[in-house]
C-alpha cells in the first residue's frame, strides 16, 4: 500500500508493484508495504484487461475551460477542478474514464491518514475493472503534491504506467514530486485540486482500516464512489 514517507505503490494489476513493494502476486500473498517514497496498491487477483476500453481521446486544447468533476461518495461530495493546461493528456484520460462511468461503483481501497487516499480501480468485491492503455507521466508540469490535490497512481518502476487509479494528497507530500529523469525520481502527476469537499476527504481519511486479502489499509467501512460526473 502506501508508505507515509513518500513512495506511492498502487495497484496496477498485471504490472509489478512500485519499487520497494513486493513483486506481483495475488492479494493473499502480496506484501502491500512499499519502501519510502512511492504510492502503490496491492496486486489484484488477476491482471485487468487493457483492451476492453478504447484509447483515450487526444488531449484537449489548453484554450478550453478546465473541466470540473463531482465525485458523489457515500460520505459526501467532492468537487475537483482539473488543470487542462498543465496536464492535458492526464486530464483527457481521467475525463474519459468519468464519461464512460468507469469510476461509478468503485471504492477507495486504501486510506493512509495524513498521507494519501487511493481509489479508481476496485469494486466492493475487490475486483478490478477493465482499464485502457497506460498514459505518459506529466509530472514535469510544475504542479506539486500538496494537500487537496489529485494525482495519478502508477507503477514505481515505470513512470508511464498510470491508467485509472488516482490518489488525493491528504497532506503536503514533496517526496512525491518530480526530482529528475530517473524512474525513481520521476514523481507522480498532479492534475487537479479539490475546490469543494476537503471536509469530506478529512472524513474519509478518519475511517478505520485493516489488512484484508493483501490490502494493508483497506477501509473497514466501505467508502464508495456512487457516481463521478463531469460538471463542465
CB 8 within 8 A of CB 88: no
Pairing of strands 166-169, 149-152: antiparallel
The three cell numbers locating residue 170: 491528504
CA dihedral for 30, 217, 2, 135, sign (positive or negative): positive
Q: Between 56 and 210, whose confidence is greater?
A: 210
Q: Across residues 111-115, what is the average pLDDT?
A: 97
What structural domains does the chain harbor? 64-230 (2.40.100.10)
Q: Across residues 131-156, what is the average pLDDT?
A: 97
Across 64-68, 142-146, 161-165, least confident range? 64-68
Grid-cell match 475486483, residue found: 127
Cα 33–36–40 angle (5° rounding)?
45
Q: What is the rounded CA–CA span in Å between residue 141 and residue 26? A: 35
Q: Is the pLDDT of residue 48 over 80?
A: no
The three cell numbers locating residue 228: 463521478
Q: How many CB atoms lie within 10 A of CB 62?
A: 11
Q: Identify any residues that bridge with 193 across adjacent strands, giving them in sequence order.
A: 81, 149
Q: What is the rounded CA–CA span in Å between residue 54 and residue 132? A: 6
Nearest to 175 by CA among 150, 138, 144, 153: 144
Q: Is the pLDDT of residue 64 over 70?
A: yes
Q: Is the pLDDT of residue 80 over 70?
A: yes
Q: Which helix (H) or strand (E) holds 68?
A: strand 68-73
Amino acid at each position: 500500500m502506501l508508505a507515509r514517507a513518500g513512495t506511492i505503490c498502487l495497484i496496477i494489476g498485471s504490472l509489478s508493484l512500485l519499487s520497494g513493494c513486493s513483486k506481483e502476486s495475488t492479494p493473499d500473498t502480496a506484501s502491500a508495504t512499499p519502501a519510502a517514497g512511492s504510492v502503490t496498491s496491492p496486486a489484484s487477483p488477476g491482471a485487468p484487461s487493457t483492451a476492453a476500453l478504447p484509447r483515450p481521446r487526444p488531449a484537449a486544447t489548453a484554450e478550453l475551460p478546465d473541466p470540473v468533476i463531482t465525485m458523489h461518495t457515500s460520505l459526501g461530495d467532492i468537487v475537483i477542478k482539473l488543470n487542462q493546461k498543465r496536464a492535458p493528456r492526464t486530464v483527457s484520460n481521467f475525463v474519459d474514464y468519468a464519461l464512460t462511468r468507469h469510476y461509478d461503483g468503485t471504492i477507495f481501497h486504501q486510506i493512509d491518514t495524513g498521507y494519501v487516499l487511493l481509489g479508481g480501480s476496485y469494486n466492493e468485491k475487490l475486483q478490478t475493472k477493465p482499464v485502457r492503455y497506460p498514459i505518459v507521466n506529466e509530472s514535469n508540469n510544475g504542479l506539486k503534491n500538496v494537500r487537496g490535490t489529485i494525482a495519478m497512481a502508477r507503477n514505481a518502476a515505470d513512470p508511464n504506467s498510470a491508467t485509472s487509479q488516482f490518489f488525493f494528497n491528504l497532506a503536503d507530500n514533496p517526496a512525491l514530486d518530480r526530482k529528475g529523469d530517473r524512474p525513481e525520481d520521476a514523481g507522480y502527476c498532479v492534475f487537479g485540486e479539490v475546490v469543494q469537499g476537503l471536509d469530506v476527504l478529512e472524513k474519509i481519511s478518519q475511517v478505520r482500516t485493516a489488512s484484508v486479502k493483501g490490502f494493508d489499509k483497506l477501509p473497514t467501512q466501505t467508502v464508495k464512489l456512487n457516481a463521478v460526473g463531469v460538471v463542465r
